[in-house]
Amino acid sequence: MIRSSRLALTCLACIWLLAVAAPSPAEEPMRVDLVQDLHWQDHHFVMTNWFYRYKGNDPAAQVRILAERGYDGVVLSLKDEPRRWRMLPAYLEALEEHGMTLTGIHTRFYVEDESYPEVVKKNLPLLEGTKALLIPSVGSRTNLSRTDPEVVERAAKILREMSDDARRFGLGGVDMYTHVDAWVETIDDAIRAAKAADRRNVGTIFHLHHFQATNSTDLAGTLRRAKPYLMCVIIQGTDEDRATHKILGEGSFDMVPLVRTLREMDYRGPLGTMGFTQSGDIPGKLERARKAWDAIKQEALERER
C-alpha cells in the first residue's frame, strides 16, 4: 500500500514537472536569430524618411545631423528606387565617419515578380559584413489573397531567396515591413509568410503607425504574438484614438506601456523612429524626438523596478 502511494506521488510529481516545464503560448521560443546585438535599450535608430523633405539628396548632411543628436543607427528608406540606391555609397561613408550603425534598409518587392529587385541584389556586395537588416515591404499589384497557400508560398520563395543572399553577404536577416494596404499588412500576415519561409533569418517588424492604421487592437497581445519572429520595432508620436504622423513626445498616445511590454517580454532587438511627412525644422524635431525617447525609456524602465 505504501509502495503504491509512493508510486502515485511520483507520477503526480512527474506530471507537475512536465506541466511547469511546458512553455505557455507567451513563452514560444524564438524562431529568428537576432545576430545584430543591437538591444533597444542601447540602440535607437532613425529611418531616413525623416529627410524626404529636407536635404533628401545629401546623405552626409543627414548622417551628421543624426550623429550630432545622439542617434545610434539608421534605417535607409531606399525601397526599390534606383535613384535612392545610388546614394548608398555616400551613406556608408558618412556612417563610418561618424561611427554610426547601418541598422537596416527598407526595401520593397511584389509577390507577382517572383523575385526581389535587381537594384537591391546588385548593391548587396557593398553591404557585406554589416549585419544590416533587409526590411522589405511586400506588395501585390493585383490584390492577391493574403491567405491562399499557393500565394503565400510564392511570397515565401522570394523571402527564401533574400534569406540565402542575406546569409551569403553577412547581413542581419530579412525583416518584413508591415504596411497598410500592402500584401503584408499586419503582424499576422508577416507571421504567416515567415512560417512558410521557415528560415531563422526571416521575421517581422512591429510598426506602430501601421498597427493603428489597420485598426488593429490589443497592442500588448500583438507584440507578444510577434515576439518569436520580431526583429525590429518602429514607433513615432501619434494619438490614442487614431493613426497620426507626429514626432516622439507629441500626441496623446502613451508610449511608455508599449516600451514596458517590450521590456517585460524580453525583446532584445533594435527600436527606432520614423518621420514620414515631417517637414520644416527637421534638425530641431530630431533633437526633441531624441530627448522624448530618452524620457520614455527611462520611465518605462523605472516602472519595472
pLDDT in tens, 224-234: 999 999 999 99
Which is nearest to 34 in space by CA: 188, 232, 206? 232
Lowest mean pLDDT among 3-7, 14-18, 272-276: 14-18
Rounded average pLDDT over 235-247: 96
- Structural domains in the chain, CATH included, are 32-304 (3.20.20.150)
Q: How far apart are CA 96 and CA 247, in angstroms?
A: 27
Coil, strand or helix at 17: helix
Contact 91, 76 (CB under 8 A): yes
Mean model confidence pLDDT for the chain: 92
Contact 190, 204 (CB under 8 A): yes
Q: How far apart are CA 217 and CA 302, in angstroms?
A: 26
Question: How many other CB atoms are there within 10 angstroms of residue 126's CB atom?
Answer: 13
Which is nearest to 75 in space by CA: 3, 172, 182, 146? 172
pLDDT reported for residue 2: 39
pTM above 0.75, yes or no: yes
Radius of gyration of the chain (CA): 21
Q: How far apart are CA 179 and CA 110, in angstroms?
A: 13
Q: How far apart are CA 289 and CA 238, in angstroms?
A: 12
Q: Can you say how many angstroms the Cα of residue 238 is from the centroid of all Cα atoms in its chain?
A: 18
Q: How far apart are CA 243 and CA 40, in angstroms?
A: 23
Q: What percent of the chain has pLDDT over 90?
A: 89
Q: How far apart are CA 63 and CA 73, in angstroms?
A: 9
Coil, strand or helix at 223: helix
Burial label, 21 (beta-carbon count in 10 A; 0-12, 13-18, 19+): exposed
What are the C-alpha distances in Å from 82 to residues 122, 174, 213, 268, 302? 11, 20, 28, 33, 45
pLDDT reported for residue 201: 98
Tally of CA atoms within 13 A in the half-sphere of 302 that contains its CB: 7
Residues 141-177: tens digit of each pLDDT: 999 999 999 999 999 999 999 999 999 999 999 999 9
What are the C-alpha distances in Å from 81 to residues 108, 172, 180, 289? 9, 22, 20, 28
Q: How far apart are CA 87 and CA 123, in angstroms?
A: 11
Contact 29, 22 (CB under 8 A): no
> Dihedrals φ, ψ of 92, to 5°?
-60, -40
pLDDT reported for residue 6: 43
Task: State yes or no: pLDDT of 194 exceeds 90.
Answer: yes
Is residue 22 very low, low, confident or very high in pLDDT (cuts 50, 70, 90)?
very low
pLDDT reported for residue 44: 98
Q: How far apart are CA 181 and CA 210, in angstroms?
A: 9
Task: State yes or no: pLDDT of 304 exceeds 60.
Answer: no
- For the chain, the 3-state helix, strand and coil shares in percent, each to the nearest 5, are 45, 15, 35
Q: How far apart are CA 59 and CA 2, in angstroms?
A: 79
